[in-house]
Amino acid sequence: MSSSPDELLRIEGIRKTFPGVVALDSVDFDLRRGEVHVLLGENGAGKSTLIKMLSGAYRPDAGKIVVDGEKVRIHGAQDAARLGIATIYQEFNLVPDLTVAENIFLGRQPRRLGMIDRKRMEADAAVLLERVGVSVSPRARVRELGIARLQMVEIAKALSLDARVLIMDEPTAVLTSGEVEKLFRIVRTLREDGVGVVFITHHLEEIAALGDRVTVIRDGRSVGQVPASTPEDELVRMMVGRSIELQYPRERPDSNQESDTPPALLTVDGLTRNGVFHDVTFEVRAGEVVGIAGLVGAGRTEVVRAVFGADPYDRGSVAVAGSPLPRHDVNAAMTAGIGLVPEDRKGQGLLLDASVEENLGLVTLRAATRGGLVDLKGQRTAAAKIAEQLGVRMAGLGQHVRTLSGGNQQKVVIGKWLLADTKVLILDEPTRGIDVGAKVEIYQLVNALTAAGHAVLMISSDLPEVLGMSDRVLVMAQGRIAGELSADEATQDSVMALAVSTPTTASLTDSVTPVTPATAVEDPRGH
């Protein structure tokens, strides 16, 4: 690999292995001053391993890392900081009970007469916060901040290290579109200042908007380096080794054919939680996917958590296959055949320090227990079968779930409900933070479930995903069902018109009749 005069960083022939797994094999990568170089690949391709070597968490088994033309060894975070390399991970590395200024300068606080110079520390933090364009007091406690501001504090912390190489791992995964654009403006400013940015994302549309070059990693190998203007279809082919002509492979029955209406597996009637959601009524029938769309804060997650029994509600009812469910009773919901894949898979869907086998057997553990003894052999056999069926990439059933890629973690969460033969599977943001190849595999699982007569209720902030996979779309606005659209009626414009609509009654605690699609298509924004 020939070097450029503007080269900040170069990686040549990097190899890294773990017991039973080759994580990286002969990977090449380089970064220039004032560029955004996108690192692209499926979950498990080796991206995280690569950036952990640059941050000092891992050491390569072979190959070399060159900074400013000189071969270097990075044995820890201090070595990385000394070389001007800073990393912002998906899981923020901040201390909640410390102030913003204390987090920015943690371990490097300025001192005066042997004491921490708090006034200078807060003044320096204010300069850095202004540089990244965030309005927050240096004295604010980190736990008081939202996700977007935490992201900016992490960037300010990196700049306090005089970072010339900034590595950003999925920085937009939990940001709104407005917050993403603000982040992009900051990254562009850093690029103008000569900072080199390694940008990892699963959102292909972000690449052309922000990137300069793209390096694609597949199965631990670098398979090519292309301009950021490369068409998305080509990037997908490089990532997964095949073309994905049909990203949303939903097979819907022919609406012209006469058939019996399938039974309702889930019936929700007048569900209300005062101040949160109101008079929510819908049903999900056997063999169909019902999508729930809406803006952030519309009440989508709160409704499905109440349906599952995780949260209480004040009025209304939930029934599975015609049998009513008691309120706020997760065990009753599970026994009736409801499963929930939560939006926070790490915090709510998995035991991260338990094995793949243990996580897959969580839901069926009670049924596999006789006389206080668990049928471990039966559980292991079932776990192995479902892991193979789902294509979970792992060293073995004993591997800790924490060490799996995001896409494989999501397969484990879904797999435990498949083992329980769930009638109604609720998917809350099922593909957030996973790559396009893993997304298609999850869509295929959804198709297999509905083909077998099960029902799926899916929440997603990815509107094309909702449109592509749903047989019907429910749109929520301000805690209410604003309308329902068939697959033929549902478009981005019609969904957004409902999502920004105003309830017909002034009080959110009163009952309201759902707005019909015919009366709610007009978009107040003029679209």
Last-in-domain residue among 377, 398, 421: 421
Q: Note the pLDDT tens digit of each residue in 82-120.
A: 999 999 887 778 899 999 999 999 888 899 888 989 999
What CATH number has the domain bearing residue 71? 3.40.50.300
Residue 398, by phi and psi: left (phi above 0), alpha (psi -120 to 50) or beta?
alpha
Is the alpha carbon torsion for 316, 318, 321, 325 positive or negative? negative
Last-in-domain residue among 421, 437, 455: 421
3-state secondary structure of 341: strand
Whether the Cβ atoms of residue 219 and residue 45 lie closer than 8 Å to each other? yes
The answer to whether residues 142 and 271 belong to one domain is no
Nearest to 460 by CA among 284, 282, 302, 291: 291
Any domain includes 203: yes
The answer to whether residues 11 and 155 belong to one domain is yes
The answer to whether residues 115 and 202 belong to one domain is yes
As a whole number of Å, the CA-based R_g of the chain is 25
The answer to whether residues 314 and 456 belong to one domain is yes
For residue 421, what pLDDT is reported?
Answer: 79
Spatial neighbors of 521 by CB under 8 A, at least 6 apart, are 493, 494, 497, 498
Any domain includes 256: no
Chain-centre distance of CA 63, in angstroms?
A: 32
> With helix as H, strand as E and coil as C, how does 382-407 read?
HHHHHHHHHCCCCCCCCCEHHHCCHH
The answer to whether residues 154 and 177 belong to one domain is yes
Any domain includes 251: no
CA distance 10 to 5: 12
The answer to whether residues 311 and 451 belong to one domain is yes
Whether the Cβ atoms of residue 220 and residue 24 lie closer than 8 Å to each other? yes
Nearest to 269 by CA among 522, 514, 76, 100: 514
CA distance 430 to 458: 8
3-state secondary structure of 420: coil
Whether the Cβ atoms of residue 514 and residue 338 lie closer than 8 Å to each other? no
Any domain includes 433: yes
Whether the Cβ atoms of residue 435 and residue 202 lie closer than 8 Å to each other? yes
For residue 255, what pLDDT is reported?
Answer: 52
The answer to whether residues 417 and 429 belong to one domain is no
The answer to whether residues 201 and 266 belong to one domain is no
Spatial neighbors of 317 by CB under 8 A, at least 6 apart, are 267, 268, 269, 270, 271, 324, 325
The answer to whether residues 428 and 461 belong to one domain is yes
The answer to whether residues 417 and 394 belong to one domain is yes
Any domain includes 257: no
CA distance 277 to 511: 10
CA distance 316 to 227: 54
Chain-centre distance of CA 196, in angstroms?
A: 25
C-alpha separations of 474 from 50, 235, 280, 374, 465 in Å: 41, 33, 10, 41, 14
Instruction: Say which residue the tokens 């039973």 belong to.
Output: 20
CA distance 31 to 8: 6
Q: Which residues pair with 14 in a beta bridge?
A: 27
DSSP 107-152: T---EETTEE-HHHHHHHHHHHHHHTT----TTSBGGGS-HHHHHH
Any domain includes 197: yes
52-56: Cβ within 8 A, 24+ apart: 53/14, 53/16, 54/9, 54/11, 54/80, 54/85, 54/87, 54/165, 54/167, 54/198, 55/80, 55/85, 55/87, 55/167, 56/80
Last-in-domain residue among 421, 437, 461: 421
Q: Note the pLDDT tens digit of each residue in 182-223.
A: 889 889 988 999 999 999 988 888 999 999 999 999 888 999
For residue 178, what pLDDT is reported?
Answer: 77
Any domain includes 77: yes
Domain count, the chain: 3
The answer to whether residues 449 and 504 belong to one domain is yes
Whether the Cβ atoms of residue 409 and residue 400 lie closer than 8 Å to each other? no
For residue 364, what pLDDT is reported?
Answer: 75
| pLDDT averaged over 10-residue windows placed end to end, the chain, 527 residues | 77 87 90 95 84 92 93 91 88 87 90 89 92 87 85 86 89 77 88 93 88 92 93 85 66 59 94 95 96 88 94 96 94 92 82 87 72 74 83 85 84 85 90 77 87 93 87 94 93 87 50 35 31
For residue 300, what pLDDT is reported?
Answer: 92
The answer to whether residues 272 and 361 belong to one domain is no
Domain coverage including residue 201: 7-239
Any domain includes 245: no
For residue 257, what pLDDT is reported?
Answer: 52
